[in-house]
Chain A
């Protein structure tokens, strides 16, 4: 009994952390190139409705995920045109993108409010899924959970082990230096921003197609903002983003389990609900308290427009 509860908590933790990881890692790439896109909530909303609508109309989960990705990418392209080509303010444009995405998704989603999708079966990895306690949480998850791990691996390799990753970081550190040695700063920033949008779209589609297979206005419920905050508190390090996302998911799930356990403990439920936020902030602040790591990892040109001289 005890071990099955532990297993359920771990399982739910990983599911709850997955959308945050996908979105936050996408934003991390965009921010590493020096572009701060606060529109994650809007891009996720658009990803959620596009993913849901396309899955519903075509019956294909994967077309839905692709659709969500495309919707997120399109939204971030819009953002990129305004801030990179037209030199708009990144903070203001990002906020506007959030408003636009949340509102537009509600508008597009009207006809889908009463529809539901079938629940998607988990993919069980033979043998591994039978390991006690950690088997189910790690090896019997839905496909996008495995995707989030692959994404993590790919991003770590890309940023720290590949040449294009080095270029991306250089663009974020000093766009004028990167430009002067011949790298197309604006084009690289476009690509990074669109990648961030595409990931936000997938994160949204995960919510509406995999997590709670339904569409309702406002279903992203602030997760886009949490993802943005995670990137900052994780000091732009992919591993810390993972830790933060699972910590957030884990504490949220654990407090629900405590409430549902039937134990009568005298803690206000409002305090329990705020625990995930508190725990994540405290832990990430503690592991990032060294000023030098923050300085080393924060992209210097973050949020600043760059206009190539020639």
Chain B
């Protein structure tokens, strides 16, 4: 593992050299990516946003991919600020402290960090309410399952992942009270072999609709091989499982990027903390599979409208956890503080491992 880091470092040194020779564009926007863009996934969605930004505003953009979440990130961000980029988007949790540090030196540059919790005088935050899409996929799963057993391949027990798991079972149980969810933790964001193995394990133990919160497409492919259903995550993964792929929760960053850059150009930009979902156009479902009955498709579209209008909340009370304790009483919605401190399973989840590693210490100050 240390070796891949060394490779990445070498790549960055080379890239920085290339970048400094590129000269200064009048209005350039820099993007820092944690992984290769690839063909699907977290960084791929950010890059779609970057391309939309170029198209709609005419600014030039540049990006550095595969930047490790360490001191190298600071070097890349600093280099972008130094050459005069107007806005720098740092798109991974681990870039937060480095972006904040650099933002203190370059007060005229606008910095935006995705998924973090620290803001600065010229550094804003952005994140997406992924759980809204998860809830909808849960509803579909609850209706489509024959065995009433759903499966979830998850990476690490952090609140963001827990929100997805709980929204999924909450959605499923809203239409199918018999549905139960089994979770396998692979303790890795990226290991296609292990992810596939976990998916096959779930499928061989009665689960017939599965999804994942990891970074590869292996889970969707495994479901396709076994003739079962799966949901993609981050990106539309239907080409990896044309029959299995029911839909996917996808992230749309483009509109937010365009809005931010336009504000910076107009001089009206103020750092904000945006946690956007359907309402802000930052979450959407990939095209729905034909296997989903038209009536259910209609209901999903209706729920999408309600989410967009803000009249529906995936964690509307009563929300009951695995042990039977009421988390949110009837008539109330879960607050953002509660969402960001989520370290428990909701009723209906049967996970073979408890959650000692679940972080409960992110001091999220939400301003929207």
Residues of A within 8 A of B (CB): 4-5, 8, 12, 16, 41, 95, 98-99, 102-103, 106, 113-114, 116, 119, 207, 211-214, 216-219, 221-223, 252-253, 256-270, 272-273
- CB contacts (< 8 Å) of B151 on chain A: these are 260
Dominant SS among interface residues on chain A: helix
**In contact, B3 and A259 (Cβ under 8 angstroms):** no
A12–B226 CA distance with the chains assembled, in angstroms? 14
Most interface-central of B149, B180, B198 (chain A CB within 10 A): B198
Chain A residue contacts of B182, Cβ below 8 A: 259-262
Find out whether the CB atom of A259 lies under 8 angstroms from the CB atom of B218: no
What separation, in Å, do the CA atoms of A214 and B195 have in the docked complex?
Answer: 13
Size range of the chain B interface in the assembly:
35 or more
Which stretch (B49-57, B167-175, B271-279, B350-358) binds chain A?
A: B350-358
Nearest CB on B from A208, distance (A): 9
In Å, the complex CA distance between A12 and B194 comes to 11
Q: Is B16 an interface residue (CB 8 A)?
A: no
> Could you say which of B6, B39, B193, B217 contacts A211, with CB atoms under 8 Å apart?
B193
How many angstroms between the C-alpha atoms of A219 and B4 in the bound complex?
12
A41, A102, A217, A222: the one within 8 Å of B38 (CB): A217
The residues of A that contact B185 with a CB separation of less than 8 Å are 259, 269-270, 272-273
8 Å CB interface, B1-16 against A: 1, 3-4, 6-7, 10-11
Most B CB contacts (10 A, CB to CB) among A5, A116, A119, A260 go to A260
Residue of B6, B200, B221 touching A12 (CB-CB under 8 A):
B200
Residues of B within 8 A of A4 (CB): 204
Contact B205 A257 (CB under 8 A): yes
A221 x B190 contact (CB < 8 A): yes
Is A253 a contact of B353 with CB atoms below 8 Å?
no
Given contacts A213-B221, A263-B352, A272-B353, contact A103 B7 (CB under 8 A): yes
Whether A212 lies near B201 (C-beta < 8 A) is no
B366 within 8 A of A: no
Q: Which residues of B contact A95 (CB under 8 A)?
A: 3
Q: Once the chains are docked, how many angstroms separate the CA of A252 from the CA of B275?
A: 37
CB atoms of A221 and B38 under 8 A apart: no
21 chain-A/chain-B pairs, Cβ below 8 angstroms = A12-B197, A12-B201, A16-B197, A41-B3, A99-B7, A116-B240, A119-B225, A211-B193, A214-B217, A219-B192, A256-B184, A256-B186, A259-B185, A260-B184, A260-B201, A261-B205, A268-B353, A268-B354, A270-B356, A272-B352, A273-B186
